[in-house]
Each structure stands twice: as C-alpha cells, then as structure tokens.
A = this chain, B = another copy of it.
Amino acid sequence: MSPLSLEAARELLLDGLVPPGRVKVKLEEAAGQVLAAAVTAPGPFPPFPRSLVDGYAVGPPGPATGTRVLRGSGTSTGSREAPARAVYRLLGAVPAGRKPDLTLAAGTAAAIFTGARPPAGTVAIVPREMATEVDGYISLTGLPSRSYLEAAGAEVAAGEGVLAAGTPLGPAETGLLAALGIREVTVYRRPRVALAASGSELLDPAAGEAGNAGRGPADASRAGGPGAGTPWIYNSNFYALAAAVGAAGGEVLPLGPLADDLEEQVRAYRAALGEADLLLTTGGAGGGNYDLTAAAFARTGGKMLFTELNNRPARRVIAARWDGKLMLGLPGNPPAALVAYYLLAAPVILALGGKEPLPVAFPARLTRAIDRRRPERAFIWARAKSTAHGWQVMPLPRRPGGIRAAIGANALIDLPPGTTPAAGAEVTVIMV
C-alpha cells in the first residue's frame, strides 16, 4: 500500500462510522454528551403567563365614575396641559412564586414583580417607571405599546421540538431541558476504547514492582522496575493516551503492555474487540522484525485499511476494520503517538460519541521562523495564542529525544513539504 494523505486516511476511518449505542442518563450527568434522540417539550414554557418586569398589573379601565382623573404629578409642575391620567386603585401585591389571591375588577391594579403570575382580570402589565403611585392609587398616561406580559408557551409550546438528535449538551441546552422539567435524556454512550501498548520493554507503572514481576511481558522477572541495570521503560503512552481518550469522551479499557509476541497480541486483541468499539495500540507499527502490529491486526481478522501516511512524524500508522470496529496501531515514540492520536484516533472517538470529528484548524502567524526543511508534510508541536489581532503560533523549542517534545503544546503546525516559513508568515494550525 502506498503512503496515504492524512485526509484520505481519516476518510477511510470515518466512512460509515456511527455511534455504537445510546444510554439514558440523568440530566445532571449529561453535560458534554450528545443527544441521541430528539427532545420535544412535555409542556409549555413559561408554564403560566408571567410578568417580564417589576411594575403593576392593571385591570380593565374603570367606569367614568370609578376613575379619578388627577392633574399631573410632581414631575410635570411646569406643564401647561398635563395629559389626562388614568387612575387605578391598588388591591395589593403579587410577588413571584405566589398564587395570586385577588381579581382585578375594572379600575383596579396590583403591584407585580418579574416572573410573577398576574391576577385574574389583568389586561396589561405597566413597568414601574411608567406609573406614579400615590396613597394606594397609581396613575398613568396610558398603557405601554409593547406587552410586558409573557403568555404561557410564548417561548416554547407544548409538544414543540426543542433539541435535535446530535445536539451536544452544553450549559444552555442543559438549562433548557431543566426548564422544561426533563430529568433524563438519551445520549450516545461513551465509546469504549481498548488501549494497548506493544513492546517487550514496557512496564506498567501502576502495577508496582511486584506487579510487573508477574504481568510484564516476555522477561522472567521484572521486579525492581526500570533502572541503569535493566532494559525496561514504563508504559507512558498508556497514561498519555488514556488522558487524551478521556478528554474526547471515551471510556478506556486498559489492556496493559503486550510482549512482542504475535500470539499474545492476537489473543489480547480478539478479547478486547468483543467489548471495545475501537482498539488503539502503540508501538510495533514500524517495519522491523519485532514490529508486529500489522501482522497481529491481520491475524486477528482485521481487513487492512492502510499502513503508511505521507507525513512525519507518525509516518507508520496501521489501520484495520474488524466486524465494523476499528483497530488503530499508532507509533511507539511518545510524541509521534500523540500526533497520530490527534489526527486519526481522536476523530474516530469523537465520531463514535456522535460529536464533530474533525479538529479545529485555521491560519495563524508564526512568531518564529521554521528553518529546517522537511521533505515530507510535517506536523510540528506548537503553542497557539489568540490576540486582538488574530492568532499567533510558536513552534516549541526542540529538546533532546522525544519524551518532552509535546510538553506545553496546544496545537500542531501543519507544514507543507519542503517549506521553511519565515517569522510572521501564515501557517495552518490544528488545535489539539
């Protein structure tokens, strides 16, 4: 198979991918998840007519005899012709949260507050600043031209569709559902990601020294852990990828480190695919004698999708499909594993969770030149920063080896082959 572009590889992975399941969750646990079924309003919102302001609920105009017409108030002392003012007798006050216990007959009114239910007989709500209250009466020059009385159902009608399937549930959506009295929603369940690392040199740090003696691959005894006298390192990719999978909304099924042993890997992958929606491994993706991932995926029964991309790092990424599930073999080098994760694995996990799969990518200005020319498309760890004048991006300083290459990064620069952009040039950044 010839090297694929990232975009072509991603298309192969995402083709036909749908969320594998749905689950009912309580509203307070739904934030960050995605609705798997449309929601219609079980009742209207607001559920009752309510005042939008602090002011007065006024009844029908009074009969001529019942309405006193006063001369202008203190605020219009200089006016020659003060406008005629309608006067209403105040029957009481209606705060929010109380069932109103009075009825507005002609020529009467009640003080009312934002969110309160107007009493029977209310024909309009008058904001406080449009009325003058004196001695148990209010006077006004007329009713307001816009309504401050919100009808029941004015914002949402009963039975109205309010959120479509596929809607991510953020704070506003969660608040809307709560307002409608909805206590449970159907969301896509978290994708299950089996996370393995192949490499006989790997130890599980969480297993402790004794644990590694028993469960580590290949070698007879691993007690004592890594050190100057041993050939072992900790399985750090597991921790890095578990954090990343969690951030994408996935649930991690840990497989632990696997030896460079085809049969052991095939057994582990078969077992994992029974439960997982996606199998993610690191290491063994190269072309060497002990790089078994491609062989193990094939022997597990996977139909190979690709084994090589036309970019660096993460040139070698092994992808296969198994009974509708995906197997993805990322590089073992930690920053390369993370590059491949963000560009290929995260989109799969996001899509399985019903979320927008593609990373956010946009142009930004380089704060420092990129001098080294690379013959292939390159992804460079970087720090992007928003400013009032747009986005800036700084490639991270190079450090010896790989274990610190991505520390402090929040983005990758997507650098076309053979280019060495100057400081100030526009490059494409991909947020991670």
Contact = CB atoms under 8 A, between A and B. Distances in A.
Interface of A: 27-28, 31-32, 43-48, 50, 54, 95-100, 113-117, 128, 150, 152, 154-156, 162-163, 167, 169-183, 199-202, 205-206, 217-219, 225-244, 246-247, 259-260, 286, 288-291, 332, 334-335, 338, 341, 360-363, 386-391, 399-410, 428
Given A219-B99, A231-B96, A113 B236 contact: no
Contacts of A242: 28, 31, 174
Contacts of A171: 240-241, 243-244, 247, 338, 341, 406
Contacts of A152: 228
B48 A227 contact: yes
A117 to B, nearest CB: 4
B173 A407 contact: yes
A347 to B, nearest CB: 15
11 contacts: A27-B239, A54-B286, A54-B289, A95-B260, A98-B200, A113-B288, A117-B231, A152-B228, A169-B243, A179-B334, A363-B390
B179 A234 contact: yes
A356 to B, nearest CB: 10
A173 B338 CA distance: 11
Chain B CB count within 10 A is highest, among A99, A171, A386, for A171
B407 A163 contact: yes
B400 A388 contact: no
